[in-house]
Amino acid sequence: MSNSRFIFGFHAVISRLRQNPDSIKEIFIDANRHDQRARDLTKLAQVQSVRLITCDQARLNSMAGNSRHQGVTANIDITRSHVDIEDVLETLTEPARLLVLDGIQDPHNLGACLRVADAFGVHAVIVPKDRAVGLTATVHKVASGAADTVAVIPVTNLARTLRLLKQQGIWIVGTAEDADNSLDSVKLPESIAWVLGAEGEGLRRLTRETCDQLIRIPMLGSIESLNVSVSAGICLFETYRQKLTNT
């Protein structure tokens, strides 16, 4: 397995420059970009002593795998950003707020979930290593920098990880359309791990059985399910709202 990958787009690359510049091997930028955005990135790369290489669109397309790179890509060392759930829990000085995504395969959904997680102060996003999308270049672009501000922790065995969180006093709350309890009628615990499954498929059986509680999001219209990032935003906002109410 390669120890490096490409990320692309100005948000993703600039965020990586600010948060973890040592992980960047080099940045490639369109030789025809001379606008303010390009100048700002160039200046930041110089400050962080990161090598900047100008190139043409064809090379950028090849590295990004598409033409939606906005004229910039970065080759990053993925071995410099490894973190596990124990690392996160050991450094917390407040109740844990975690987001667990079970089987999300669409990179746009994962990227959007990371943005939501960043917005509501989630300490880590936990994902299974298998049967789920990883931190691809598209995820980085959609996340608009959140892939570098929120710890993303791939785990081999999701159910085992959930049991570990329980041992740490973290309440495991899953979302399910057929749950008895509705989000608008429950008191949420301070330390919580929200567990969401893929749209249409929901939580896998073992993941569902490992949850301490299942909650449904009240739906007033004719649509039966929401996009996973929308569901995550609703659940995390309610966690935030209840925290404010109780302080």
Render pLDDT for 90-135 as a digit per residue (tens, 0 to 9): 778 899 999 999 989 999 999 999 999 999 999 999 999 888 888 8
Prediction pTM value? 0.72
How far apart are the C-alpha atoms of 102 and 207, rounded to whole Å? Answer: 8
- Average model confidence (pLDDT) across the chain: 90
Specify the amino acid at residue 7: I
Token pair for 20: 């973890």
Render pLDDT for 16-46 as a digit per residue (tens, 0 to 9): 898 788 889 999 999 999 999 999 999 999 9
Render pLDDT for 206-247 as a digit per residue (tens, 0 to 9): 999 999 999 999 988 877 778 999 999 999 999 999 988 876
How far apart are the C-alpha atoms of 116 and 226, rounded to whole Å? Answer: 15
Specify the pLDDT at position 202: 86
Q: Determine the angle formed by the axes of helices 107-119 and 228-246, rounding to 10 degrees.
A: 10
How far apart are the C-alpha atoms of 229 and 117, rounded to whole Å? Answer: 9
pLDDT over 60 (residue 1)? no
Please name each of the domains of the chain with its CATH number. Answer: 4-81 (3.30.1330.30), 85-246 (3.40.1280.10)
Render pLDDT for 43-65 as a digit per residue (tens, 0 to 9): 999 999 999 999 999 999 999 88
Q: How far is CA 222 from its chain centroid?
A: 29
Q: Which residue has the tokens 């994962």?
A: 110
Q: Where are the beta strands (DSSP E) in the chain?
A: 4-8, 24-30, 52-55, 72-77, 97-102, 124-128, 151-155, 171-175, 181-182, 192-197, 213-216
Kindly state the percentage of the chain with pLDDT values over 90: 62
Q: Which helix (H) or strand (E) holds 234?
A: helix 228-246
Specify the pLDDT at position 81: 55
